[in-house]
Amino acid sequence: MNIAVPKETLTGETRVAIVPDQVRALSEKNGWSFFVQAGAGVGSGYSDDDYQEAGATIFPDAKAVYDKGDITFHVQVPTVDQIGLLTAGSALICMLWPMQNPDLVNALASQKITSFAMDKVPRITRAQSMDILSAMSTVSGYKAVLLASTELLKFCPMLMTAAGTIRPAKALILGAGVAGLMGIGTARRLGCVVEAFDVRPATKEQVESLGAKFVEFAVEDSEDAGGYAKALDQDQQQKQLELIHEHIKDADMVITTALIPGRKAPVLVTDAMLQDMKPGSVVVDLAAIQGGNCEGAQPDQTVVKHGVKILGPTNLPATVPFHASQMLSKVFTTLLAELSNEEGLEVNLENEVTVGCMITHQGEIVHERTRESMGLPPLSKPESEPEPEASGESASPASA
């Protein structure tokens, strides 16, 4: 099986889909061949020589790499032009966000590409090691706190010096998912006093185990089948905002991480809250790319409102590319192992992972929720085709 790894072209993207150690291990174990575009790993700290020593073949341009690939790995969503370079009948594994990118989905179907969206891998126990969203959220939560600490006008830890005692900074983390929990741990390691808020009572134990205070907000049935927070009704939303407002007044840094699958990010930090925050405070909004949890947040910009800095980074994992690429590499290759057998790619419709993340196959758009979002009728199934054990959709990650 030949695997193509082109260089990412999106501005600011420094990660690579597979690292040399994984190339070496999988070449020796499975006999897979890797074809890597020159410079693909440089931004992550991996040279072309590193890949060659691991057994990969280096090609100078993307077209040559695409031509060799039975399967192509992409970190970012490919462009229509890049899809046009793929060999008809080959496979693509990448971040795709299919319901947001219908033109790309149509292009993949027209090119007869079998495509798998990493962002649609079902959120089930046995697929945890294939969950790219959780892996990258770990990086984002860590880096968000570091970013806030560099913008803050204060020290994070308590210091007792000859010049007096410095009180520790106070951090408020909104959302206790993967990013939020990593943010809590990082803020605590920096010496901050940390509070965390989440509508899901089940997260309390995790928050407290990291040394943070859990801000209580009791809501029944607050978690969906995929483990994400459900949207609140109007009355619940108002009570939630009042509680956050009460706690945000004392915060020096706020990290917002709240996302709802398939919907605009909920507003958790209002303009009125910003007015009551201390001048020089910092908000890092990890949901800025989906509308933002903080009013006024702008993707990849720093905005100052009422003396508060609001940062809206959209690709923090690319700022820690060495380890982020190691994590990506493991996720990509674990998913590929799930989707293949000794002979190569295996499209097994009884495998809930396959069904959950396969978007196009044999010239058809086969992902049911994607078809629905594009206004297409459901696919009819041949009578001889067995029903899949589970659709995977009820447990799929945020489609954003």
Residues with catalytic function: 123, 128, 131, 134, 228
Q: Reduced to 3 DSSP states, what percent helix, strand and coil does the chain have, rounded to the nearest 5?
A: 40, 20, 45
d(CA 385, CA 369): 20
Q: How far apart are CA 201 and CA 220, in angstroms?
A: 9
d(CA 46, CA 54): 11
From 176, 178, 175, 153, select the one nearest 253 (Cα to Cα): 153
**Closest CA relative to residue 380, chosen from 368, 369, 363:** 368
Strands 282-285, 253-256: pairing kind: parallel
What distance in Å separates the CA atoms of residue 286 and residue 256, rounded to the nearest whole number? 6
Q: Which amino acid would we find at residue 294?
A: C
Q: Nearest-5° angle of CA 246, CA 237, CA 270?
A: 55
227: left (phi over 0), alpha (psi -120 to 50) or beta: left
Residues contacting 153, CB < 8 A, separation 6+ = 280
DSSP summary character for residue 376: P
Beta bridge partners of 57: 35
In DSSP notation, 310-367 reads: EE--S-GGGGSHHHHHHHHHHHHHHHHHHHEETTEE---TT-HHHHHHEEEETTEE--
| 175/206 Cα distance (integer angstroms) | 12
Within the chain, strands assigned E span 2-5, 33-37, 57-59, 71-73, 91-94, 114-117, 159-161, 164-166, 170-174, 193-197, 213-215, 253-256, 282-285, 302-305, 308-311, 340-341, 344-345, 358-361, 364-365
